[in-house]
Amino acid sequence: MRVGARVTMVSDTQLDRDRVRGVMASERGSERKRIPGALFRNCKIEVRPHRAWLLLAHAGLMVDITHYLNDCKLILVSNREPYEHMRGPGGIEIKQPAGGLVTALDPTMRRTHGTWVAWGSGTADRDVSDETGRVAVPPGEECYTVRRVWLDDADINGYYHGFSNRALWPLCHMLIQHFEFRTEYWERYRTVNLRFAHAVADEAERCTGRAMAWIQDYHFALASEFLRAMRPSLFIHQFWHIPFPPADILRLLPAGTHEAVLRGMLGNDLVEFQIDRYAVNFLDCVDKFVAEARVDHVHQTITVRDRVVHVGAFPISIDVERFEAMAASDDSRARVATLRGRYAKGTRQLGVCVDRIDYTKGIPERIRALETMWTESPEMRERFTFIFVCTPSRTDLPAYNALERDVTQSVMSINERFGSPEWTPIVLINENVDSDLLAAVYRAADLCIVSSLQDGMNLVAKEFVACQVDERGVLILSRFTGSAEEIDGALLMNPFNVDGFVAAIAAGLEMSPEERKRRMHRMRRQLHNSTIFDWLDSILARSTEIMGTPPQLHAVV
Ligand code: ADQ
């Protein structure tokens, strides 16, 4: 815990205590949650026409996509692993990262007995894995395999902190002032991608029937091409979670490198993006930089030599019913009362924002808008309190540390300048909070601001909508998020335009209860038709269509 910064903090344990001044905590190790023991036991099964099978577990509704896979083994590839073995005081502990991807894919992996290939990042991972890095999970049930790929410090620096996070991440978000290319990063990225491709090829080799590899994200732009060379007939597809930039930005990568990234991605049979704009950028880049590729912009396909690569938009979402249930619980209701009693007494409103501290999320821009509003319109002071739930992220990179310091200092100075004994303008929760508390904060809020400068999708916007069970909140959403192209009912704004940003906050605060309800109701209805399980379903449906194997519905007992 770091002590010293003069800001106001509230955390789960402090909710029921008085406000604490002068302390800020940061629990860096807490980004992962422990596995709830019997989470997936006692599953009951139900059929839904035109959609996949659903597993009703007490964790919420989960889609079962086994009918798409039939006898086809799913080999999933991601940088982070679904289970991490850690050395703890009482022996080896198992942790599971919080997040939508694991929530959606873990049940699928359990039922299909697939293999999840990922970086073995846990301190005790090697102790429990066999000589090829394989371990059966989840503990006590052992129904699928995690295949760990080992990375040393130089690999992590070059592949992960280097090319992935200092080069591709800023470039794809078009924030080129943060772009940093080193040959060493690139070489490590290639080596690690090759190592992952070998691990996947070996897993495909081990299975007697067909296999499908599904690669996640920008950490593996080259893996598909390597894998294609090793296993030409394997069905390979990739979901790209972040934006894909236009050609003029991609070519900031040195000559040879940007073409290599595109050729790498063309190793896939299907490349999935969050929204159509990113898919279009990818097609344009391939058109410009890959001489041997023929691009069909209408059908969104690319022919390279004798192969056809399909491209499409598949917007990711959240486990809507899980968030809704958390927000509607008795615990949540009690927390909402506490939060509103403390921060939104009388006519005062409560705003919230939730982010990893990342320069793509527009946090300084948001602080600047609030500061401008409170400076230029003193009558807006005391009208609302803002809760910032900001979790430190990628703290090994200097740009992220600098941003965290900057955010803390700006919040302190705003609180000192505008605050009063009765009012703290910004309450900073500088830690990773558990999802139950998050759901209560979302429910309690009258206003949620998502101000990303660029964002592939942004799940916070969707979580806020899911948790607004009272339908009283307004969503102020950056135009530059994937969510803005999906959600109809938010107040859209441009975070670079401070006056427009201030006007959007003012409009949100002034909006009538009827108008808020109308918009929120519409957004909630949309969200229910587009959950993370619909996302999974549509990707697998498209994959099997391309593979030429229509799904077979069969009873699951
Ligand atoms: P991220 O950049 O991580 O994901 P986002 O979609 O906003 O961005 O998801 C962040 C998640 O972390 C949310 O579930 C949020 O609740 C959680 N979170 C953030 N701060 C937290 C805190 N302090 N405490 C607890 N939880 C916190 C990338 C892309 C996105 C894309 C996702 C999924 O950058 O554009 O939406 O992948 O594809």
Pocket-testing residue among 322, 356, 389, 430, ligand 1, by greatest number of atoms within 8 A of Cβ: 356
pLDDT at 432: 82
pLDDT at 53: 31
* DSSP category for residue 455: B
Q: How many CB atoms lie within 10 A of CB 319?
A: 22
User: Residues with Cβ < 8 Å from 289, sequence gap 6 or more?
Assistant: 247, 250, 251, 258, 259, 262
pLDDT at 521: 98
pLDDT at 99: 64
For the Cβ of 427 lying below 6 angstroms from any atom of ligand 1, the answer is no
pLDDT band at 444 (very low <50, low <70, confident <90, very high): very high
Is residue 49 helix, strand or coil? coil
Q: How far is the CA of 472 from the centre of ligand 1 (A)?
A: 23
CA-proximal residue: ligand 1, atom 18 (nearest): 355
499: its two tokens: 């006056």
pLDDT at 247: 98
Pairing of strands 301-304, 211-216: unpaired
Q: What is the CA radius of gyration of the chain?
A: 23
pLDDT at 440: 98
Q: Which residue has the higher pLDDT, 296 or 139?
A: 296
Q: How far is the CA of 423 from the centre of ligand 1 (A)?
A: 29
Q: pLDDT tens across 257-315, in order?
A: 999 999 999 999 999 999 999 999 999 999 999 999 999 999 999 999 889 999 999 99
CA gap 80, 166 in Å, rounded: 18
Stretch among 56-70, 157-171, 259-273, 279-293 having the lowest mean pLDDT = 56-70
For the Cβ of 203 lying below 6 angstroms from any atom of ligand 1, the answer is no
pLDDT at 104: 73
User: Would you say residue 60 has pLDDT above 50?
Assistant: no
Look up the pTM and report it: 0.89
67: its two tokens: 């009918």
